[in-house]
Structures are given as C-alpha cells and as structure tokens.
Chains A and B, each alone.
Chain A
Amino acid sequence: DQQVKQNSPSLSVQEGRISILNCDYTNSMFDYFLWYKKYPAEGPTFLISISSIKDKNEDGRFTVFLNKSAKHLSLHIVPSQPGDSAVYFCAASQADSWGKFQFGAGTQVVVTP
C-alpha cells in the first residue's frame, strides 16, 4: 500500500523553463516532507524539506509547496538547468514514527537545451 505517490514517472522540460514535480500522499498524519535528487549510480541527496506548519519553503531555485487539505505537495525548479536532470523522490514521515520515511517512486526529469 503506497502512501506516497508520484504519478508522473518522467518529465521533460526546456532549459530556463520551470519544472513542476508533483507528489500526493494518503496518510493525513504525515507532518514532514522531503525532496531528494538522485543521479545514476549515486545515492539520493537531500534537496529541500517542509513541515506541515508551513505551506511553502524556498531555497534558491527550489520551492516546495504543501497543500494539506489536498494531501499534495509540489517541487518547483526555476529556472531549470541541465544539471537538474536526475530522478526526484518525495518522502513523508509522521512525528510518532521517527525514522520511517515513506518514499514515492520518483520522477525522472530531463532538461533539454
């Protein structure tokens, strides 16, 4: 039973444009969310996080939005760069299950010139 879903397995975007990655979750108890970026043959690296007390968190070109009522979060990358081509995972956790993050299946982003 997958509690975190990334329904778009892939996304192609032109360099300089905005990339929007989506993530839906089913567990209303989730209160902490992370995005990770993964290059081939490497482990995922932490990108950005957001807690349920916020609806937006920004870090440079990366912004995460959280819509708790819709159980939806999204990652915006503006502007997209060739180095952003990677797989992006969203992950969610609830306060009383520390250490147990649920991950989505990932979205492969390809940034084209």
Chain B
Amino acid sequence: DGGITQSPKYLFRKEGQNVTLSCEQNLNHDAMYWYRQDPGQGLRLIYYSQIVNDFQKGDIAEGYSVSREKKESFPLTVTSAQKNPTAFYLCASSIVNRANYGYTFGSGTRLTVV
C-alpha cells in the first residue's frame, strides 16, 4: 500500500540536542512538506520541496533544516536553535502542480523536549 511513513511516533530530546525526524513516501509524489501543529493553532509550514535537491523555507523555518537527496525521503532536523521545539510534526506529500487534490499526510511525530 502506498503512503507516507513518519518515524519515530514519539521522540524525546534533551535541551541543546539536534534531532532528526524521518519522512518516507512511496507514492511517487514530487512534492513534500513539513508542518508543525501546536495546541489551538493551525498547521504551520516549516519547509517544502518540489523536486529533489531543492527546498524552500515555509513560514516558520528558523531552527529547522531539511534535505531532499531522494524523491522518497524528506528528513527534518530540529536544531538546538529552535527555541520551542515541543510540538506535533506532520509530513505530507503531493503531486506537483496538482495541489488541488490535496496532500497525503503521515501519522505524525510528537517531539517533547525534556
């Protein structure tokens, strides 16, 4: 079955550590995205990528980094520079130029700073 896999489901990070969230899709989608969800707020776009080896900052990119070395994979690194990293992170993908069909989302990673 095609879909998006995010791992791990739960992640705990110590202050000052970098952590990487995994996102893999087998839908052959060109575009991939990272969103962050905080209580009482909508999903906010962190980074997105339309093609391999290219990505763009979203609305809240500070303290995050991404890479897109393969079409299937779009890992997100939460760096120590991110002031408030505790949140629910969602990865999504879509067909390029067919965004009107909507995104396919993964099941999310809940990151907690301890």
Chain A contact residues, CB within 8 Å of chain B: 2, 4, 6, 9, 32, 34, 36, 41-46, 49, 51, 89, 91, 93, 98-106
Question: A34 near B102 (CB under 8 angstroms)?
Answer: yes
Beyond A43-B90, A44-B105, is A104–B42 a contact (Cβ under 8 Å)?
yes
Which residues, 39 to 54 on B, are CB-close (under 8 Å) to A? 40-45, 48, 50
Chain A residues within an 8 Å CB radius of B107: 41-43
**Could you tell me the distance between the alpha carbons of A64 and B65 in the complex, rounded to whole angstroms?**
36
Is B75's CB within 8 Å of the partner chain A?
no
Q: With contacts defined as CB atoms under 8 Å apart, how many contacts are there between chain A and chain B in the complex?
A: 68
Chain B contact residues, CB within 8 Å of chain A: 4, 6, 9, 31, 33, 35, 40-45, 48, 50, 56, 58-59, 90, 92, 94, 97, 99-108
Question: A45 near B99 (CB under 8 angstroms)?
Answer: no
**Could you tell me the distance between the alpha carbons of A72 and B91 in the complex, rounded to whole angstroms?**
27
**Could you tell me the distance between the alpha carbons of A42 and B103 in the complex, rounded to whole angstroms?**
14
How far in angstroms is the closest Cβ of chain A from B38? 9
Please, could you name 22 A-B residue pairs with CB atoms under 8 Å apart, sorted by A?
Answer: A32-B100, A43-B4, A43-B90, A43-B92, A43-B108, A44-B43, A44-B105, A45-B105, A46-B101, A46-B103, A49-B102, A98-B50, A99-B48, A99-B56, A99-B94, A100-B59, A101-B45, A102-B42, A103-B43, A103-B44, A105-B40, A105-B42
**Could you tell me the distance between the alpha carbons of A23 and B36 in the complex, rounded to whole angstroms?**
20
Question: A99 near B99 (CB under 8 angstroms)?
Answer: yes
**Could you tell me the distance between the alpha carbons of A100 and B60 in the complex, rounded to whole angstroms?**
12
Question: B58 near A100 (CB under 8 angstroms)?
Answer: yes
**Could you tell me the distance between the alpha carbons of A36 and B37 in the complex, rounded to whole angstroms?**
14
